Amino acid sequence: MQCATVQAVGQVQHRRFTYNFPESRKRLVLQKWEKIRGPEHPQTLDALGDYAVVLRHLGKLDAAAQAAQKSIFGSEKALRKDHPLTLPTVVQLGYILTLQGEYSRGEKMIRTALTGLEKELGKDHPYVKKLEEAETLSQQALDGRRRILGTGHPYTFKTMYHQSLVLLAREQFLEAEKCADVRWTECRQHWDLSTLM
């Protein structure tokens, strides 16, 4: 199975039923990228950032923080500190820190990263839009991906994942869970996941 496919399946399942499955899949993706591209390659570091997200969802906050910090350090070295591919992981680390009770440090990190993204990408870029606008944009992207790529495409599932994150950030927990449920149902309709377990 290709790394991108394993990565997509791991993202599709990371919040449903068997939490060990996506963690092992993310770890597998990370190991494959390390083998193929090396530990300092931006794709490997991005996979490490994704792994940090899975660990955060599992409640393994210390391990998530370590993975995010390693990803950030490597991305800063490989790309640069204020690179648009580095800063989203900085936002993730800030969120992890707030979950660990380090509110001021986490909030400062998030604000710094969002300011950097705004400077690098511009105020109108989706990464820096206000959460209300981000929700609208993610719904438009999801509608477009469903229409153009279809409901079973990995990018459609990834967009559904991002939409659920926006809803979580807006503290719309029921809507986020509903989005995750729809995503899981559509995933099961299109992929035979039993062959992956």
pLDDT given at position 137: 79
At CB < 8 A and 24+ separation, what contacts does 144-152 make? 151/186, 151/189, 151/190, 152/186, 152/189, 152/190, 152/191
**One-letter identity of residue 48:** L
Cα angle value 168/172/173 (rounded, 5°): 70
Where is 36: in which H helix or E strand?
A: helix 20-37
Half-sphere exposure of 9 (CA within 13 A, CB side): 21
Q: For 124-173, how does the pLDDT look when each residue is reduced to its tens digit (9 = 90+)? A: 766 655 666 777 877 888 888 889 988 778 777 778 877 777 776 665 66
Residue 7, pLDDT score: 44
Task: Copy the structure tokens of residue 129.
Answer: 């839009």
pLDDT of residue 75: 92
Q: 38 or 125, which is more confident?
A: 38
Give the Cα separation of 90 and 96 in Å (integer). 10
Q: Please choose, from the candidates 59, 69, 71, the residue with its C-alpha nearest in 3D space to the C-alpha of residue 100.
A: 59
CA 136/CA 116 separation, integer angstroms: 23
Give the ranges where 38-153 is alpha helix by DSSP (H): 42-57, 61-78, 87-99, 103-121, 131-148
Of residues 110 and 140, more confidence is placed in 140
Tell me what the pLDDT averaged over the chain comes to: 76
Digit-coded pLDDT (tens) for 171-194: 566 777 777 777 777 766 766 545
Q: Residue 186's pLDDT is what?
A: 73
* pLDDT score, position 84: 82
* CA–CA separation, 76 and 70 (whole Å): 10
Q: Which CATH architecture has domain 1-121?
A: Alpha Horseshoe (1.25)
Q: Is 80 exceeded by the pLDDT of residue 78?
A: yes
Alpha carbon 163 to chain centroid distance? 11
Between CA 85 and CA 29 the distance in angstroms is 18
Is pLDDT above 80 for 1?
A: no
Backbone CA torsion sign across 69, 81, 110, 126: negative
Domain ranges of the chain: 1-121, 129-197
Structure tokens at 185: 């149902």
Of 186, 87, 85, residue with least CA distance to 145 = 186
- 97 neighbors 69 (Cβ within 8 angstroms): no
